[in-house]
A and B are shown apart, each in its own frame.
Chain A
Amino acid sequence: AQTVTQSQPEMSVQEAETVTLSCTYDTSESDYYLFWYKQPPSRQMILVIRQEAYKQQNATENRFSVNFQKAAKSFSLKISDSQLGDAAMYFCAYRAGSSNTGKLIFGQGTTLQVKP
């Protein structure tokens, strides 16, 4: 069975600094997607970034980028120039296959605190 592990329950970063959140996963599939979601205090889930397993190039979305190490089954999220609004719970998620009807498997989450 596929699993997703986030080993950092809590992280903190100084405003304007860079922080990296870790995620590892386990799968025997070759076609899959990985996602990072942000859940702020409002509890609305927000997609931060996605990575297709077939693509070697790491995905980037403005201040957010990933380090996708397929062989190591690692998918970390780097947040650059951290802002107070980045404070939230972050979830790493895995989905087998390319269909958007596949279910997401979430990690345990990492609570990110941003210090002014």
Chain B
Amino acid sequence: GAVVSQHPSWVICKSGTSVKIECRSLDFQATTMFWYRQFPKQSLMLMATSNEGSKATYEQGVEKDKFLINHASLTLSTLTVTSAHPEDSSFYICSASPTSGVRGETQYFGPGTRLLVL
């Protein structure tokens, strides 16, 4: 089956520092990847859609300068939380859509990254 990894799985950082989260599709190519944020016992909130070789499309209310997304290859997208503050503490999940996707195929999700900003 299609596997998506995220690294790191857990990160603690000081307020004001930047944190980079990697999302990799391990056994397929993904032109499109998605980044979500999830608070405890809440739903997934889409932050942005990442397309390989082009700028990400951010959802309304998401600060693009705060959450930098780079999709430099067909298997890797990165989310950088710049100048992190405690309110950025959350669970971040990525998903990837296979480039060779068939009709009806869905996204494959990574295991998530837990970010704690002190």
The chain A residues found within 8 Å of chain B, CB to CB, are: 33, 35, 42-45, 47, 50, 52, 89, 91, 95, 98-101, 103-109, 111
Contact = CB atoms under 8 A, between A and B. Distances in A.
A43 B112 contact: yes
B43 to A, nearest CB: 5
- Lowest 10 A-B CB distances belong to which pairs? A100-B101, A45-B109, A101-B32, A100-B97, A100-B105, A98-B103, A106-B43, A101-B97, A109-B43, A43-B112
Nearest to B93: A45
Contacts of B91: 43
B101 A101 contact: yes
Contacts of A111: 41
B42 to A, nearest CB: 7
Interface of B: 31-32, 34, 38, 41-44, 46, 49, 91, 93, 95, 97-98, 101-107, 109, 111-112
18 contacts: A33-B104, A42-B111, A43-B111, A44-B112, A45-B44, A45-B95, A47-B106, A100-B98, A100-B101, A100-B105, A100-B106, A101-B32, A104-B46, A105-B46, A107-B43, A108-B43, A109-B42, A111-B41
A113 B103 CA distance: 33
Contacts of B101: 99-101
- Select the residue from A35, A43, A95 with max chain B CB neighbours within 10 A: A43
Contacts of A108: 42-43
